[in-house]
Amino acid sequence: MSPAMTITTEDIKTKLEAIQERQYRNGVKHLCENGISKIPTKYVLPESDRPGSYKGKPNVGNVNLKLPVIDFAELQGPNRSQVLQSLAIACEQYGFFQVVNHGIPIEVTSDMIDTSTRFFELPFEERSKYMSSDMKSPVRYGTSFNQNVDKVYCWRDFLKLICNPITDVVHHWPSSPMDFRTLAATYAKDTKYLSLMLTEAILESLGLCGTTKNKIPEDDEIMKLFEDGSHLMVVNCYPPCPEPDLTLGMPPHSDYGFLTLLLQDEVEGLQIQYQDKWVTVEPITNSFVVNVGDHLEIFSNGRYKSVVHRVLVNSAKHRISVASLHSIPFKCTVSPSPKLVDEDNPRRYKDADFASFLEYISSCEHKRKNFLESRKLT
Ligand code: OGA
Ligand code: NI
């Protein structure tokens, strides 16, 4: 045999690994479809990053956390100023709160969970039509957190839908299940409205908007930016995992936008970093979990916190969540509000835009709040 024809076991191993690697890109739902009792090494985290660990040390206690609750109906009434105070405290101390009495009909949220569940139950061939490596594609099906750079994969599949402007994008969304577009579009419109109302309240709580005495014309300009702002919907699917202590549904991260509205089914999984440990957020029926994103931390010059969070998986139940990320338009730049910067409070962040964010996440392994850290002025 000529040397050129020699195939070593090493070659075969490399080839097999490459095939396996491509298989993992098809997602965890597909991986589970044939039934597995152990998770592949690709999903096994180093000990220090596993669910039982907090920054390499044991995560003491299994603490459940009741997040501050904001009653949206009350925010619209005579007690608005008290609710704004609670909102400010929640954004400063937790970076998270839950919204109840939000006014979105229960059918709208339950239909969204229901049609999303049915989407992930479609045959793989149907779901995979929406796979794309183009970050700007109006619809993108994929797996893990940032599958192009993740060394260890996460136990999640996702469907990302760009929602602005809705009339331009909706016909790119999945046509199956048949009711998906209609139900997802209704959900997108309702959550957009809720996000605008919450954004207005948050700006007001920072002394920047609404009935604030020192309001300036620029304050109204900010709200116009949000009305035409970016809106991304991420439908997350976490199948039951045979070894949930070895992996995560999502690694520790912060959200890049201004505000995230999270809808989850009744299965818990979300954990936030709070007082030097990971704490599990107790789901409240018919509520939204809302969190401060990197853009709001920058805009508030550090007063409101974009808090790191992660997702646990479990061996028994399937979990679906829908995260709606809202911010100003893609082409705009976020900087600390001039009204929140003075001699006592010097500017603490560099400007941030979407282009630099996208470049950042595609160039390195996304860990903790890297992007936000990169924006900090020392
Ligand atoms: C996210 C996120 C939490 C969850 O999509 O950014 O943090 O519980 N989701 O799915
Ligand atoms: Ni998140």
If you measure from the C-alpha of residue 330 to the centroid of ligand 2, how many angstroms do you get, rounded to a whole number? 19
> Which atom of ligand 1 is closest in space to residue 319's alpha carbon?
10
- Tell me the pLDDT of the chain (378 aa) as tens digits: 455 678 889 998 888 888 888 889 999 999 998 789 999 999 999 999 999 999 889 998 768 899 999 999 999 999 999 999 999 999 999 999 999 999 999 999 999 999 999 999 999 999 999 999 888 899 999 999 988 888 999 999 999 999 999 999 999 999 999 999 999 999 999 999 999 999 999 999 999 876 555 556 666 788 899 999 999 999 999 999 999 999 999 999 999 899 999 999 999 999 999 999 999 999 999 999 999 999 999 999 999 999 999 999 999 999 999 999 999 998 899 999 999 999 999 999 988 887 777 777 666 545 555 778 878 887
Write down the pLDDT at residue 310.
97
Partners of 58 in beta bridges: 53
27 assigned to some structural domain:
no
Write down the pLDDT at residue 364.
58
Write down the pLDDT at residue 67.
94
Of the candidates 60, 12, 56, 53, the residue with the CA atom closest to the CA atom of residue 312? 53
Write down the pLDDT at residue 18.
84
Write down the pLDDT at residue 19.
85
Tell me how many domains the chain contains.
1
> Whole-prediction pTM value?
0.93
184 assigned to some structural domain:
yes
* Contact status, residue 334 vs residue 298, Cβ threshold 8 Å: yes
Q: How far apart are CA 326 and CA 295, in angstroms?
A: 10
CATH of the domain at 271: 2.60.120.330
Place of tokens 């919907």: 233
- 3-state DSSP call for residue 322? strand
33 assigned to some structural domain:
no
If you measure from the C-alpha of residue 79 to the centroid of ligand 1, how many angstroms do you get, rounded to a whole number? 31
Q: How far apart are CA 59 and CA 53, in angstroms?
A: 5
192 assigned to some structural domain:
yes
Write down the pLDDT at residue 354.
78
35 assigned to some structural domain:
no
Closest ligand by atom to 267 CA: 1
Q: How far apart are CA 247 and CA 239, in angstroms?
A: 12
Domain limits at 337? 60-375
Write down the pLDDT at residue 4.
65
Write down the pLDDT at residue 27.
95
If you measure from the C-alpha of residue 324 to the centroid of ligand 2, how many angstroms do you get, rounded to a whole number? 10
Q: What tokens does 337 get?
A: 């509000």
Write down the pLDDT at residue 210.
60
174 assigned to some structural domain:
yes
Q: Which of 321, 322, 326 to mutate to test the pocket of ligand 1 (most atoms within 8 A of CB)?
A: 321
218 assigned to some structural domain:
yes
Write down the pLDDT at residue 362.
65
98 assigned to some structural domain:
yes
> Which atom of ligand 1 is closest in space to residue 156's alpha carbon?
10
> Which atom of ligand 1 is closest in space to residue 255's alpha carbon?
6
If you measure from the C-alpha of residue 279 to the centroid of ligand 2, how many angstroms do you get, rounded to a whole number? 15
Q: How far apart are CA 310 and CA 333, in angstroms?
A: 27
